[in-house]
Amino acid sequence: MKNLIYIFLLSLFVYSCGSTGGKNFPSEKIANAKNDTVRIANDSLEYEIIIIEPGFNLFINSYAKPRGYYSKDYLENKNQFLVTEYNQRVSQPFNYNPDLYLNEINYDPKIDYGYEVNYLLYNYFVYFSRHYNQRFSVPTRI
């Protein structure tokens, strides 16, 4: 009898760990995911930044230093080092989690992206390092 209870509990555990296929998710959760997409584009310079990260908008609006706190030169300098290290991690999937470091970031320090792009990119690295507990050699503090 005791073994039967253990078998039942084990089978219940295995069943509860099954996939979520066939479940319908509420449409408001999908709509909220769309709201966590930040897109910045400038057709004249032919660049685009798309940040799809749940919670990033909340971070920018609630926890990040306000626009104008950092100088543009400061942000450009930090972004140059952070992007370089991030791209190195993308190219080393055996040393760093490939689920976190998916795509390289094409950031050319010779191009003037403007304050807003540099501000959002820097704050993305701050958010990324805090949310995923990643440490970059260049400190990202706020």
* CA–CA separation, 80 and 121 (whole Å): 10
Q: What is the C-alpha separation between 135 and 89, in angstroms, rounded?
A: 12
Global pTM value = 0.67
| Residue 39 pLDDT | 60
pLDDT (0 to 100) of residue 140: 57
Residue 139 has phi, psi (to 5 degrees) of -65, 135
Q: Which residues of the chain carry a pLDDT beneath 70?
A: 1-48, 138-142
Distance CA 68, CA 76 (A): 13
